[in-house]
Amino acid sequence: MANDETVKAAGINTRLAHSGNDPHAYFGFVNPPVVHASTVLFADARSMADRNQKYTYGTRGTPTSDALAAAINELEGSAGTAIVPSGLAAVVLPLIAYLSAGDHALIVDSVYHPTRKFANTVLKRMGVEVEFYDPLIGAGISGLMKPNTKLVFTESPGSNTYEVQDIPAIAKAAHAGGAVVVMDNTWATPLYFKALEHGVDVTVHAATKYPAGHSDVLLGTVSANAACWPQLWATFDTLGICAGPDDAYQVLRGLRTMGVRLERHQQSALEIARWLETKAGVARVLHPALESHPGHALWKRDFSGSSGIFSVVLDGAGERQSHAFLDALKIFGLGYSWGGYESLAVPVNVRDRVVAKGPYGGAIIRLQIGLEDVPDLKADIERGLAAAAAAS
């Protein structure tokens, strides 16, 4: 089924339902087997010496991880996909694959915090020169390119504050300088942003979020175009970081319903974001699909949808009001991550940034809108706003 041209040309939910497995290769069972593997046997000494069989050892992939990789390749239009044990591992893999001592890396300042931490610690210790750039820089990034700039890391919209990057302009400038363009595309998923079609070479997903969808699995995917895949595969193979088969299976399972879940996340989040813009005590709502968002025009040009996570700025609020808001919530849980079926809220801290620092006009709270009923979520947010006002 994975190679079926009919499926490849079909609508997104049809592709999500049928990509990445071939039932008739497994006695007709609809889902692929979960292959638990370290050792793979060879038929004879010659094939062992030549390693000329499809599977040779568990760290290099199994039919289960391959089924997921095939599904992601179809969604991304990529030449190959590595399946790794977390979204953070997926961020780190291309940084290790394409950077060496003496290289310069440009990393967007609105990046997921642990990506910044990896760059500021391990990359610097490896002798890589790390520079954070303004998410709104666009084609101006050419002014930051150096002869040794080997990688430009993008994430759009940015973590927590949702700045939209001009990815085609950045990719053009990066390629002119000979750099690889990597994108953390977790927010939009391959459904709502086609990273490789916009000039990105390597796209990263924390599949922990929407692909898994149930807050119970950690997994990451790294997909590359044909030029960048051999180096990515070689590094993945050398590191031995293939995700376990049960987790790969769960993400493949999650992909089947991701399209319909995303539609609901999108619809509910937008309704709540628009409603929040009208509420007293709210200074701004940071959601790129809102007309009021500074990145809205770029988002509209490049993205085909929005997901379920955005931030709200409580007018003039500090930590006391922010904590009062969070403590009053009864449906939203206070916890990290997103993309699951349940709503979550976290306070946002932009203190570690060097360029995109704001000011934002008050405490920022990130809301992950789950699959619950919108009136219940609004009532919960009302409780939070009332508590924040009372704490002022």
337 binds ligand PLP (CB under 6 A): yes
86 binds ligand PLP (CB under 6 A): yes
184 binds ligand PLP (CB under 6 A): yes
Tokens matching residue 84: 């790794």
109 binds ligand PLP (CB under 6 A): no
112 binds ligand PLP (CB under 6 A): yes
Q: How far is the CB of 297 from ligand PLP (least distance, A)?
A: 22
User: What is the rounded distance in angstroms from the CA atom of residue 390 to the CA atom of residue 384?
Assistant: 10
Q: Sign (positive/negative) of CA torsion 322, 323, 324, 326?
A: positive
**Number of other residues whose CB lies within 10 A of the CB of residue 124:** 13
The SS3 assignment for 339 reads coil
C-beta closer to ligand PLP: residue 63 or 340: 340
CB neighbour list of residue 304: distance below 8 Å, 6 or more residues apart: 191, 192, 193
User: What is the rounded distance in angstroms from the CA atom of residue 73 to the CA atom of residue 253?
Assistant: 16
Beta-strand (E) ranges in the chain? Answer: 80-84, 104-108, 129-133, 149-155, 180-184, 202-206, 220-224, 282-286, 309-315, 333-334, 344-348, 362-368
The region of 29-37, 80-88, 118-126, 231-239 touching ligand PLP under the rule CB under 6 A is 80-88
Strand partners, 286: 311
Number of residues that bind ligand PLP (CB under 6 A): 13
The SS3 assignment for 188 reads coil
Q: Note whether 159 and 88 are within 8 A (CB).
A: no
Q: How far is the CB of 88 from ligand PLP (least distance, A)?
A: 4
Closest to 29 measured CA to CA, from 55, 1, 4, 8: 1
208 binds ligand PLP (CB under 6 A): yes
User: What is the rounded distance in angstroms from the CA atom of residue 18 to the CA atom of residue 10?
Assistant: 10
Dihedral, 252, 256, 257, 259 alpha carbons, nearest 10: 110
Q: How far is the CB of 14 from ligand PLP (least distance, A)?
A: 27
Q: How far is the CB of 154 from ligand PLP (least distance, A)?
A: 11
Q: How far is the CB of 92 from ligand PLP (least distance, A)?
A: 10
User: What is the rounded distance in angstroms from the CA atom of residue 75 to the CA atom of residue 16?
Assistant: 8
C-beta closer to ligand PLP: residue 86 or 321: 86
Contact pattern for ligand PLP over residues 151 through 170, marking x by CB under 6 A? --------x-----------
The region of 86-94, 174-182, 242-250, 356-364 touching ligand PLP under the rule CB under 6 A is 86-94
Q: How far is the CB of 339 from ligand PLP (least distance, A)?
A: 9
C-beta closer to ligand PLP: residue 231 or 337: 337
Q: How far is the CB of 158 from ligand PLP (least distance, A)?
A: 9
Which one of residues 72, 91, 97, 381 is an interface residue with ligand PLP (CB under 6 A)? 91
The SS3 assignment for 155 reads strand
Q: How far is the CB of 58 from ligand PLP (least distance, A)?
A: 21
Closest residue to bound ligand PLP by CB: 87
Binding site for ligand PLP (CB under 6 A): 86-88, 91, 112, 159, 184, 186, 206, 208, 218, 220, 337
